[in-house]
Amino acid sequence: MATFLGVANLLVGESTPHAVRLGEVDLDLGTETGVNAPQRVQVLFRPEDIALATSVQSLRSTRLGRGVVEEKSFAGAFERLRVRMEVPPRVRQIAPMPSFGDGVLRLEVTRPQPDALRDPLAVGGQAWVGVRRAHVLAPVRIDLRILEQGGHEQKTAHDYAAQLAGHLGGRLLARPELAPAEDRTAPGRMAAAAEAESLDILAVGANGTARLPREALALDEPSHLLVVRSSGPVPSRILVCVKVGEPGKVDVRVAERLAWRLQAAVCVLTVLPPGEPAPEHVEQFLEASVRDLRSRGIDACSKVRFGSPAAEILGELDEDGHELLIVGAPLQSRPQATPHLGTVVERLLDASPCPVLIVRASNG
């Protein structure tokens, strides 16, 4: 993984037969990519791969767009800058890691002193941004795994998960043994940034929580859990139910990764106790969630409902016809008993009319 060589800009775009497409811009690779249809790929720009200029006429590289200089510093014979610009349509940024709800693209740039002196840029000033070269990494896909459990329930889960994996550009795999311990080396840590696009999803068939296999709830199982009671269409409408805070950000980002590939609409819902208006911090969180989703080109909205969480979530599913429910549920441990998901999630699994994706908060 190339980012271990230093700070890098890692985006997700589309690979075409001869180029990498970022929004409306095609970066000619000068060679065949080997793909016939567009595929999601990770695109790496090292800081020195990016050109800046005060005028579009002096930009001697493929023009990506116009940005604003946020930071500037010097390191030896080089000038280092951070430039903010609008996110091109259908582009995701992996590194530098974007802030939740920010809705902008930030690029790290390095210029030698002669370039800095010839075309000086000040903090707060505008600059045209160009790309000299791009490095295409592995195609981005989301693989699903299936829990081998036998019977009709496994077949139902298998059929739905296979259909979903196909639309996500991934595969449906047999559940492997637990992954080896996380690589803590520098290359391993940086490679993990590229894995931010992937999701580890384990599909399981179940007829309510009473029939949910215990191994699907194992505390050392790293996957998010897709529970399928009955098969349905590939989701075009996703409901993600959140608690305001860091775990809720994880839920929204998981929803975004799926919706971006499925071209599905997303509604972000939170449920509050009855009798009082939504606090300002709740409104701000929901606004940031919608802004984050829309910046990726996703049709998004938010709602607040008041009452019992399970009843209100089921009511929303019934009223708006969502086809996938996403809800966060860190596992809770009962002494000498099967781990459980919490009362609200267990009620949803028993009554949801559509598949439920349970996001493990520890997965980040």
Same domain for 87 and 125: yes
Residue 240 pLDDT: 97
Exposure of 152 in the CB half-sphere (CA atoms within 13 A) = 5
Which amino acid does the sequence have at 353?
Answer: P
How confident is the model over 228-267, as pLDDT tens digits? 988 889 999 999 999 888 889 989 989 998 998 898 999 9
Same domain for 345 and 277: yes
Distance in angstroms (rounded) separating the CA atoms of residues 55 and 190: 34
* Most confident range, picked from 25-29, 132-136, 256-260, 341-345: 256-260
- State the pLDDT confidence band at 288, using cuts at 50, 70 and 90: very high
The two beta strands, 356-359 and 324-328, are parallel
Same domain for 48 and 151: no
- State the pLDDT confidence band at 38, using cuts at 50, 70 and 90: low
Same domain for 127 and 59: yes
Are 53 and 59 in contact, with CB atoms under 8 Å apart?
A: yes
Same domain for 181 and 325: yes
Backbone angles phi, psi at 108, to 5 degrees: -90, 130
How confident is the model over 43-53, as pLDDT tens digits? 888 999 999 99
- State the pLDDT confidence band at 284, using cuts at 50, 70 and 90: very high
Which amino acid does the sequence have at 220?
Answer: D
Residue 186 pLDDT: 36
Same domain for 130 and 228: no
Secondary-structure percent of the chain, ordered helix, strand, coil, rounded to 5: 30, 35, 35
Mean pLDDT check: name the lowest of 26-35, 84-93, 136-145.
26-35
SS3 351: helix
The domain boundary, picked from 139, 159, 182, lies at: 139
Same domain for 229 and 342: yes
Same domain for 155 and 134: no
Q: What b/e readout covers 121-132, taking b as 16+ CB neighbours within 10 angstroms?
A: beeeeebbbbbe
DSSP character string of 158-211: HHHHHHHHHHTT--EEE--SPPPPPP-SHHHHHHHHHGGG---EEEEE-SSGGG
- State the pLDDT confidence band at 5, using cuts at 50, 70 and 90: very low
| Tokens coding 296 | 């990726």
Same domain for 178 and 33: no
The domain boundary, picked from 98, 114, 139, lies at: 139
Distance in angstroms (rounded) separating the CA atoms of residues 203 and 201: 6
195 or 277, higher pLDDT: 277
Q: What is the CATH number of the domain that holds 285?
A: 3.40.50.620
Same domain for 151 and 192: yes
Give the domain extent around 17.
2-139
The domain boundary, picked from 111, 139, 167, lies at: 139
Residue 261 pLDDT: 85
Total number of domains constituting the chain: 2
How confident is the model over 159-179, as pLDDT tens digits? 999 999 988 888 888 765 334
How confident is the model over 179-211, as pLDDT tens digits? 433 443 333 433 444 444 568 898 988 875 556
Distance in angstroms (rounded) separating the CA atoms of residues 350 and 364: 26
Same domain for 278 and 182: yes
Average pLDDT of the chain, as a whole number: 82
pTM: 0.78
Asked, as a colleague might, if the bond just before 96 is cis with ω within 30 of 0, I would say yes
Same domain for 327 and 197: yes
Which amino acid does the sequence have at 346?
Answer: E
Q: What is the CATH number of the domain that holds 23?
A: 2.40.50.100
